[in-house]
Amino acid sequence: MDNALVTGGCGFLGSQIVRRLRERGVSVRVLALPGEPTDNVADLDVELVRGDVLDPDACRRAVEGRQVVFHAAAIYQAWAPNPSRMYAVNHRGTFNVLEAARQAGVEKVVYTASIVSLGRPPEGTIGDEETEYDVWDLDFPYSRSKFHSRVLAEDFATWGFDVRVVCPGIVFGPGDIAPTPSGKLILETLKKGGPPIYVDGGAAYVDVRDAAEVHVLAAEKGKRGERYVAAAHNLSNHELLLAICRATNTERRFFKLPLPAARAIIIAMNEAAARTGKEPPLSRDFFEYSLVPSYYDNAKSVRELGARYRPIEDSIRDAVAWFRQRGMA
């Protein structure tokens, strides 16, 4: 691989994909939105082009002359009163990039999906790349948009275009410029006087740098049409809070809140958000989704790609240091 395009390359995960590529000596072009901050790649020797994945002409210009495309551009929001743009970017934007890459003769595309594009495994079990999507009981726009986008990307592979799919877990680490919902979770936990409570549930987590490495390994060693879960740590909500405390040398005691009380608080927060337009600390969609432990096995990425994953405390510690350096925590 001599050169590549990374859509969303100034973002949290995208910028780490750029870094992994530059470490290998790959010439990188980054597609960024007009006016999007470039802080995450300002120290890197990359070609920066401006454009929106909703613009087919911008996509055609971006992929021109590229061997490999990493399509990481997406809207990742837990709270979206009007999810229209999220669906448009995550679905139609994916089509625009893949079709432009196909017409331009790009050798391969690595598409960034998510574990929320897969199904939640039955309680007490561990999911994998083949776990069937099940989140039809919730109107969770981010999950649904990533599911439909993943299916679209895999359709391109079925039609003969070389597309590989990476499904990262909830991503932590430095460079969370937005911040994403996962970064906000750390920031909320760090707040003095924040509620020392939790509910049942859990999820799979991964360091952003490790997830980025899996993308590059998927391009180097993966196969057309295959999915690769990039997740490292299956933690209950309580275990995650304790990991944040360990990483920040904080001693704190947490109390389990009964589900009916927790749901009432979340509903009240979201009703207030609907009135004020101010994002709640936790969206109802994300809350309801996370009540079912969503744990995943990374064996395929380790076995077939040679992926390696670092301790979750290192990821959280580096994320907190980055937030503090920028005055966000």
Q: At 254, phi and psi to the nearest 5? A: -115, 150
Residues 321, 174: Cα–Cα separation, whole Å? 8
In this prediction, residue 203 carries a pLDDT of 93
Tokens at residue 19, please?
């870094």
In this prediction, residue 185 carries a pLDDT of 80
User: H/E/C letters for each residue in 98-159?
Assistant: HHHHHHHCCCEEEEECCHHHCCCCCCCCCECCCCCCCCCCCCCHHHHHHHHHHHHHHHHHHC
Residues 106, 9: Cα–Cα separation, whole Å? 18
Residues 107, 104: Cα–Cα separation, whole Å? 9
The phi-psi region of residue 124 (left if phi > 0; otherwise alpha if psi is between -120 and 50; otherwise beta) is left
SS percent in the chain: helix, strand, coil, step 5: 45, 15, 40
> Which letter does DSSP use for residue 304 in this model?
I
In this prediction, residue 183 carries a pLDDT of 87
SS3 state of residue 53: coil
Which amino acid would we find at residue 79?
W
In this prediction, residue 14 carries a pLDDT of 97
In this prediction, residue 195 carries a pLDDT of 66
Q: Which helix (H) or strand (E) holds 3?
A: strand 3-7
In this prediction, residue 193 carries a pLDDT of 56
Q: Within the chain, which residues score under 50 in pLDDT? A: none
Where in the chain are the domains?
Answer: 3-178+205-233+296-311
Length of the chain: 329
What's the count of helices (H) and strands (E) in the chain, helices before strands?
A: 12, 12
SS3 state of residue 180: coil
What is the CB-side half-sphere exposure of residue 10 using CA atoms within 13 A? Answer: 18
CA distance to 49, 71, 72, 149, 200, per residue, from 107 (Å): 21, 14, 17, 20, 44
* Residue 176 near residue 122, CB atoms below 8 Å: no
Tokens at residue 43, please?
């120290």
Q: So what CATH class is 3-178+205-233+296-311?
A: alpha beta
